[in-house]
Structure 1
Amino acid sequence: MEESKNTKYQRAKKRVEEIKGFYIHAAVYTVINAFILLNIYLQTDNFWKWPHFITLFAWGIGLFFHGSKVFGFNPFLSKDWEEKQIQKFMEEDKEEMKKYK
Structure 2
Amino acid sequence: MSDPIPLQPRRDDTAADMRSLVQLGEAEPQPVPASAPAPTPDPVDEKEAALLSAALMEAGVETAADDQAAARAVASLDPATVAAVQRWIKAPRKTKPTTPASK
TM-score over 0.5 for the pair: no
TM-score (norm 1): 0.28
Structure with higher RCO (Cα < 8 A, 6+ apart): 1
TM-score (norm 2): 0.28
State which structure, 1 or 2, has the greater radius of gyration over its C-alpha atoms: 2
